[in-house]
Structure 1
Amino acid sequence: MFLRKYAKTNLLNRFLVSENNCQNVQQIKTLCGTLRVYNKNLNLSFSKCNRFVKLLPHTSYSVRYFSKKVIEDAFKESESEKELSRIKEIFTQPRVILNQFASKTPEKIFDIHYKQAVVAPKGGKKKNIQNDWVCTYTFIWPEKIKFESAAISKGKAADKAATQALYWLYKNKRIDERGCPVYDRSVLKDLQSTLNKNIHVTISENSMERINKIWSDYESEIKSKYEDTFKEAKQKLLNTASAFNKDSTIDDQDQQPPIHPVFGKVMIPTQSALERRERTLEQTFRHYDEKLTPLPIDGYV
């Protein structure tokens, strides 16, 4: 039985294959006869294929359409992530870098605000739910802008917001890799040009008369007294310096620099230093008692 079935199937296969081959040979002969016949057969075959494709259900094949904008956004996101990772490598401590950056500027340039929303659920027995911390850096220089980030803890939220701020500053060339501020050269040139300009002030006649009167009073009355007082004080300093040099009670320890009483070792004064201090104070008091030192303002009291 097995051999009989095998023989039948084998004969049928051979017969069909041979018949198909004969038909193919006949078609090739007719196609190769003339070029026109070949072209007609090709057109017919293509039209049949197209009809067959149209008859297929839509589920058998699918075409994907990609938006150019979506692809560009994906590339932008990947590039921004790379730049953020680079910023994290350059500035390992973002909050510290921003504080140092602010200390190098003449004025305050940003403020920090923290916020945590607490949700009270319904029911008296349930506890309040604490949400994430939100940190906001609000900048004034180089322009008004704010950076906000949320995280589980306060420190993580601040680190994220500080990293965003550093990324923006570095991208706009307002901070260098050392954390120093970078100013616009055109603005600096304008400031330098304004510094060298002469200042023009308009004063009324009454103000000019008052200024001239004050100046004449100073030249006639105050200037001479001021010069005499300055000479007398200078002479006193010279006398006290010579007295200190001639004093035999000066020790070598008196020439040493004083030590800070809080952060350093407290230095107890010696007996010779105390005696010298008493003599100096007594001499100054006697001289002051004998003749009071005049002041420029005494004439106007």
Structure 2
Amino acid sequence: SNTLYRDLRIVLPLPINNKFRGNIIENLTKYNIDEPKFAIFYNNEKLFSPPFDESVFDNDSFICGIKKAKDNTNLFVYWVVTSYNNTNLNNFNSGFLFKKNQFTVGDNNTFKRFVKGSYNYWNFGEIHILDSEIKENASRNFFEINTGHAKELFESISDLLTQIQKINRIKSACDKHSNINTAVKLLEDEKITLAKQKLDSTMKILSAKKNNNVVTLPESKNYLEILDKRRTDSLHKIQELEDNMKQKDTERTDVELNKIYELLSPQFKNIAKNTQLYVAMNNYNAKN
């Protein structure tokens, strides 16, 4: 059944086969987490660990790091961000999976027990609990919380998720390539007014000051720099499109004014020499 297929992929320590595999394996190895070696087939299909659809994720968004408590490395976490702004990911392509000895504890909603405030399902990631003192409970849907520093570790997970949510928001505000693509399509369809409205609203969002300092995760520095470059690149692209629109507006005006000038009698053509009509006619003739 679909449920069994899903559960096998979620719970078991399956091999990784997605575009982030190299980064994931490299970092798991640093913390003595072996790459899963299980080979499991379901209806003749070899199963791999989530995410189920890697195409929806931003190629540059892989971020990983560790959290420590009492001078011990307690957890390793990695996550990726959707390419599509404000799009909630579906099913087990989203959220965070808790891992202990490579097996999943709970499901992709368990992490929400640690969320303070709102959280959007714009990520997929794994949180590997490395601390030997923190063990899963009998039903494997959560962890035993009566260990000495479990509370401290779980608070650090809450802080981490708060930081990731801030990164989600910054990504949404900085990455507006889809808006620009929409404006370009509107221009191609000669829907000039709608294109201008789309570009103006996008420019306003991109020009607003982005307080990247609210994110204190050192592991996110590179991705935040990438997002800021996307923001400035988009601003330059919008300026280029607006300059092109102004040029085309001028050219269209010159054509129309030249048509009017050609309809004038010689007497009125002479009078028009000191007007914009004459300037437009000269501009038109110079180009043609």
TM-score normalised by L of structure 2: 0.20
TM-score normalised by L of structure 1: 0.19
- Give the structure with the larger helix fraction: 1
